[in-house]
């Protein structure tokens, strides 16, 4: 039995078909962890979808209504870059509920996992880059509303800049945002985070880890979070179709240990969400995400 819970729902699959975003990966991660005997059925817990009221803590009512009614216009669909379906919408509500549940579990266990989520390109009034609802922001706002926390930190290690995160929390001193990402990659416009680490193409393990360690040291030196939201994208991997960095699988696992060590040493419970991963070989993405769970088991 793991020392923490893994939040998962079969409805996490966004029903995208043969899209570059393999949303079936969530089910495959669960199956891999069970098949390897690393996790047991009892380690998994199922979330409820976030309520509309919770979603509205972050998102504009018009956007929520258009999503639920299926009335997005052509420009909104183009920005979202995924096909519309009721299953897709349901998956985003489940992801937000899952990240909120993982955050509650983290406050009790020290760390919580959502085998999904990390949709960091979503803005209050529109979606971008495969992200319609910002589950991480919803979880932070929900726990703040309920007075479980006052201060949170987002550490975003997806290969793509967390533009939605930076925009949502731009004028909020209660949330500190850190994004380490490939500079010459999506999105074209990158609103400033509290700390942005802009990486050149082809950066490998050692340079990445040195820069991340320095950024985390600075972040925790300036801000004392009561909760850390870790966006653990698999796409800095050297075999990723939508990334241009050169990290190995072991480098990515060391990244996970580094972030979680910083959170634990600074007394901040950590919530892990998985975000992007588009390796040419789907099994590589599944391995990278599964290794994040294994890294957490080593740290905690």
Mean pLDDT of all residues in 35-41: 97
Mean pLDDT of all residues in 192-208: 98
Mean pLDDT of all residues in 105-133: 97
| pLDDT value for 15 | 83
pLDDT over 90 (residue 211) = yes
The two tokens of residue 161 are 């800049």
Question: What is the residue-averaged pLDDT of the chain?
Answer: 97
pLDDT over 90 (residue 17) = no
Is residue 95 within 8 Å of residue 117, measured between CB atoms?
yes
What is the distance between the alpha carbons of residues 242 and 280, in angstroms, rounded to a whole number?
10
Tell me what percent of the residues of the chain surpass a pLDDT of 90: 98
Convert the pLDDT of each residue in 144-168 to its tens digit. 999 999 999 999 999 999 999 999 9
Convert the pLDDT of each residue in 258-289 to its tens digit. 999 999 999 999 999 999 999 999 999 999 99
Residues 6+ apart with CB under 8 A from 64: 52, 55, 56
Residues 6+ apart with CB under 8 A from 18: none
Tell me what percent of the residues of the chain surpass a pLDDT of 70: 100
Mean pLDDT of all residues in 215-224: 98
Known catalytic membership, residue 19:
no
Give the predicted TM-score (pTM) of the model.
Answer: 0.97
Residue 128 DSSP one-character state: B
What are the structural domains, with CATH classification, of the chain? 6-299 (3.40.800.20)
Comparing C-alpha atoms, which of 105, 120, 194 is closest to residue 156?
Answer: 120
Convert the pLDDT of each residue in 42-96 to its tens digit. 999 999 999 999 999 999 999 999 999 999 999 999 999 999 999 999 999 999 9
Rg from Cα positions in the chain: 17
| pLDDT value for 18 | 86
* pLDDT band at 214; cut points 50, 70, 90: very high
List the catalytic residue out of 9, 120, 121, 161.
121
Mean pLDDT of all residues in 117-126: 98
| pLDDT value for 195 | 98
The two tokens of residue 11 are 């409805």
């Amino acid at each position: 039995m793991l020392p923490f819970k893994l939040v998962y729902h079969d409805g996490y699959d966004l029903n995208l078909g043969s899209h570059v975003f393999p949303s079936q990966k969530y089910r495959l991660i669960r199956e891999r962890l069970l098949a390897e005997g690393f996790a047991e059925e009892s380690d998994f817990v199922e979330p409820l979808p976030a309520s509309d009221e919770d979603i509205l803590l972050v998102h504009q009512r018009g956007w929520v209504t258009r999503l639920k009614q299926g009335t997005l216009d052509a420009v909104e669909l183009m920005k979202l870059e995924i096909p519309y379906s009721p299953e897709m919408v349901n998956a985003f509500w489940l992801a937000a509920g899952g990240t909120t549940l993982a955050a509650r579990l983290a406050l009790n266990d020290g760390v919580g996992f959502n085998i999904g989520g990390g949709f960091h390109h979503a803005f209050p009034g529109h979606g971008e880059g495969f992200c319609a609802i910002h589950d991480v922001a919803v979880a932070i706002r929900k726990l703040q509303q309920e007075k479980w926390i006052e201060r949170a930190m987002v550490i975003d290690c997806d290969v793509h800049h967390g533009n939605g995160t930076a925009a949502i929390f731009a004028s909020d001193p209660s949330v500190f945002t850190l994004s380490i990402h490939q500079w010459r990659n999506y999105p074209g416009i990158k609103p400033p985070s509290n700390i942005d680490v802009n990486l050149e193409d082809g950066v490998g393990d050692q340079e990445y880890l040195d820069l991340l360690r320095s950024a985390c040291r600075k972040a925790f030196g300036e801000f004392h979070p009561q909760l850390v939201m870790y966006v653990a994208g698999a796409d800095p991997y050297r075999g990723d179709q939508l990334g241009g960095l050169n990290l190995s699988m072991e480098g990515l696992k060391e990244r996970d240990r580094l972030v979680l060590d910083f959170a634990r040493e600074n007394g901040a419970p950590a919530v892990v969400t998985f975000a992007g991963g588009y390796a040419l070989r789907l099994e590589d993405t599944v391995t990278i995400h599964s290794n994040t769970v294994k890294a957490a088991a080593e740290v905690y």
